[in-house]
Amino acid sequence: MPSRSGILYLVSGPSGSGKTTLCRRLADEGEARYSTSCTTRPARPGEKDGYDYHFLSQDEFAEKIRQSAFLEYATVHGNSYGTLLSEVTEHLANGVDVVMDIDVQGAKHVRNCTDPRIRTALVDLFVMPPSEEELRSRLTGRQTDAPEVIALRMKNALAEMEHWPSYQFRLLSDSREYDYARFKSLLLAERMRVSRLIS
């Protein structure tokens, strides 16, 4: 039996906030397992199936819904995204912390989840870009997306940013290192929470 069950570290924020980098680094350092989502969007250059995402067809995604395989799923920027239960529940039961990078709709589903194991495991954080100008320049600088995609992401980002008060924690992005220090500290602190150790 593990000494405590795992923490579900849920991270949201607009694209360009740096959240994926934070989540990946935490996983690369072995502090948490990254929950690889399913998506119907095409892979970007350099993205690997099974690592960045499980890239599925619309039919395959619909089949997963029918099988009740998802903890949550949502349509984001016109594509379907979903978190497989298999990426989360067993790891939590084994005392492994799981980090997930999902949008505000998915976060709402997870927050409203009735499963007590998910509810007690959940720590949710919203990563805010430092300013609208900085967000615009980060989205433009990525250069992997077409201008109309960037425009759509900017519009969605501004709408998404209104949701930060629904989260337990907010990280206002600063430098890469300072962001990561705060990001990791939250997980380390949550591990010491007495209710996690005695429940």
Residues that bind ligand 5GP (CB under 6 A): 15, 37, 41, 72, 74, 76-77, 81-83, 101-103, 105-106
CB of 83 to ligand 5GP, least distance (A): 4
CB of 106 to ligand 5GP, least distance (A): 2
**Secondary structure class of 183 (helix, strand, coil):** helix
CB of 78 to ligand 5GP, least distance (A): 10
In terms of CB distance, is 159 or 189 closer to ligand 5GP?
A: 159
In terms of CB distance, is 24 or 196 closer to ligand 5GP?
A: 24
In terms of CB distance, is 7 or 150 closer to ligand 5GP?
A: 150
The rounded distance, in Å, linking the Cα atoms of 101 and 81 is 11
Q: Token pair 């949701």 is at which residue?
A: 163
DSSP class per residue in 64-122: HHHTT-EEEEEEETTEEEEEEGGGTHHHHHTT--EEEE--HHHHHHHHT---HHHHHHE
In terms of CB distance, is 21 or 120 closer to ligand 5GP?
A: 21
In terms of CB distance, is 21 or 105 closer to ligand 5GP?
A: 105
CB of 145 to ligand 5GP, least distance (A): 9
CB of 81 to ligand 5GP, least distance (A): 4
The rounded distance, in Å, linking the Cα atoms of 90 and 72 is 16
The rounded distance, in Å, linking the Cα atoms of 79 and 64 is 15
Q: Would you give the distance in Å from CA 46 to the centre of its chain?
A: 20
CB of 94 to ligand 5GP, least distance (A): 21
**Secondary structure class of 170 (helix, strand, coil):** strand
In terms of CB distance, is 4 or 25 closer to ligand 5GP?
A: 25
* Structure-token pair, residue 131: 């300013």
Distances (CA, A) of 93 to 11, 26, 41, 166: 20, 20, 31, 26
